[in-house]
Amino acid sequence: MKRISQALAAAAVSIAMSIPAHAETTLTVHYPMPGFFKDVMDTISKKFMEENPDIRIQFANPSATYEEGIQTIMRQAGTAEMPDVTFIGLNRLRMLNERDIPVDLGPLVAKEADMAAQGFSENILKLAQVKGKQVGLAFATSNPIMYYNADLVRAAGGNPDVPPKTWDEVIALGGKIKALGDGNEGIDFRWQGDDWMFSALLFGAGGTMLNEDETKVTFNGPEGQKAVEVLDRMVKEGGLPVLTKQAGEQAFVAGKIGFAFQTTGALRNTIKNVGTKFDLRTAHIPLIDPVNGKLPTGGNAVVILTHDAEKQDAAWKFAKFAAGPYGASVVVPGTGYVPNNELAAASPDYLGTFYKENPLFRAGLEQMPLMKPWYAFPGSNGVKVTQTIVENLSRVVEQSVTPQEALDDAAADVEDLLPRS
C-alpha cells in the first residue's frame, strides 16, 4: 500500500510539473465619484476578468471627487500605497504629468496595429494628452446640459416642447417658476466644487482662462464679465437660490426646481431619482455667444502608474478595455456621459441604437462638436486656483459683492498662484 501511495504521489508531481504554472497578476485600481462610477467599474472589471482570467482587478477606496482623487494620488506617489491604475479628472492630467508620475502611453500606443480600428481616433487620443504626451486614455467624457421640469415650465406659461435657447429666456422663465410659490425655485446652476460650470459660461462666451503663453489671467476680460453677469442675473431674476450641491440635486429631483444645469454624466442617476415624480426633459445648454461659444469637456481618463513590467502589460490591457467600445457601452447608459470611443458610438453592437431609444441622452451627444478641453492650469497650485474661483463665484451667488468685484478678486488671486517664469 505504501508503494502504491508513493507511486500515486510521484505521478501527481509529474502531472503538476507538466502543466504550465498559472500566474495571476493583480492590479489595484483607484477611481473617483463612486456615486457615478461604482456600478460601471464593477461591470467593466467583471467582464474584463472573464476575458482575462490571468488578471485580477481589486479596487482601492474611491475618492468622492476629482479634486480629492488627484490629491490622493499625489500623496501616494512613490509609496507602496500608490495604485497601479487610476482615473484622473481631465483637467488634472497636467498636474500629474508635471510631477512625472504617470507612465507615458505613447510607446504602447505606437506598438498597437491600429488604435483607430479600436475606436481611438486622433481627436479622442488628444483628450488625454499633455503637450503631446499620451498621459492616459479618455474614459468618461461629458459636457454640461440643461435638465428641466416640464411640469413646472408648463405651469409657468412656457412650452416644454420648445425649451429656452438663450440665457435671457432661461432667466425669464426661471423667474416665473419661482413666482409660482409653494417652495419652487427657478434655477440650480452647479457652480460648486470646481471651475467646470464657470468654464461653461466663460467658454460659451468665447473666452479663455489664460493668455497663450499662460502668464496672465484672461477670464476677467469681456467674456468673463458676461459670464458672471449671467450668474448674477440667475440669482436676482431667475430664482437661483444659495444651495449646496447635494441640496440642489435633492430639490430638483423632488420637483421643486425648474432648470438644473450640470454634467450630462449625472443623467442616469437623475432619471432614477426623479422616477415618475414629474416629466423630466433635457436640452442644450445656452451659449452666451452662439457663434464663437464652446463647452468644456468634463470627465476623466484612465492613467497607468505602475512601472512594474508585468503589471504594466496587464494595466495596458485593462486601460484599452475600459476606454474601449465595451467600456463606453457601459459608461454611457450607466451614467449619461457621452461616448469617448468612436466604434462604440457607431456600432449597433454597442451604442448604435441606444440614442434612438433614449432621447434624454441626445443633448450631450449633439453638443459634442462644441467640446474643447477642460482647462488645466499650469504649476502645482491647480487645486488652489479652482478653490479660488469657486469661492468668488459663491460671493456672487450669496450677493455679498458685485460680479465685477468677485471677478477682479479671483483674477488677482489666481495670478498670484501661477508659476513664476
Assign residue 57 a region: left if phi > 0, alpha if psi is -120 to 50, beta otherwise? beta
| Cα dihedral 338, 343, 345, 347 in deg (nearest 10) | -160
What pLDDT does residue 420 have?
81
Amino acid 380: pLDDT: 87
Strand, helix or coil for residue 42: helix
Chain-centroid distance of CA 106 in Å reads 23
* CA 276 centroid distance within chain: 27
Confidence of residue 99 (pLDDT cuts 50, 70, 90): very high
Instruction: Tell me the C-alpha distance between 416 and 414, whole Å.
Output: 5
pLDDT at 13: 42
* Pair 323, 340: CB distance under 8 Å: yes
pTM of the predicted protein model:
0.86
Q: Are strands 55-59 and 25-30 parallel, antiparallel or unpaired?
A: parallel
Residue 4, pLDDT > 80, answer no
Statement: residue 3 has pLDDT above 50: no
Residue 123 — very low, low, confident or very high, per pLDDT cuts 50/70/90?
confident
> Mean pLDDT over all residues of the chain?
92
Work out the number of other CB atoms within 10 angstroms of the CB of residue 309.
Answer: 7
Top pLDDT among 291 and 12 is at: 291
Residue 23: per-residue pLDDT: 61
Mean pLDDT of 288-317: 96
Mean pLDDT, range 14-19, rounded to an integer = 39
Cβ(122)–Cβ(139) under 8 Å? no
- pLDDT (tens digit per residue) in 367-389: 998 998 899 999 889 889 999 99
Q: Tell me what percent of the residues of the chain surpass a pLDDT of 70.
A: 94
What is the rounded average pLDDT of the residues 165-178? 98
- Ranges of beta strands (E only) in 194-330 are 257-263, 280-284, 295-304
Lowest mean pLDDT, pick from 23-27, 92-96, 134-138, 324-328:
23-27
Helix spans in 146-266 (H): 150-155, 167-178, 196-204, 222-236, 245-253
Taking 50 as the threshold, does the pLDDT of residue 2 lie above it? no
> Band of the pLDDT at 347, cuts 50, 70, 90?
confident
CA atoms within 13 A on the CB side of 327: 25
* 172-181 b/e (C-beta count within 10 Å ≥ 16 → b): bbbbbbbebe
Task: List, for residues 256-289, the tens digit of each pLDDT value.
Answer: 999 999 999 999 999 999 999 999 999 999 999 9
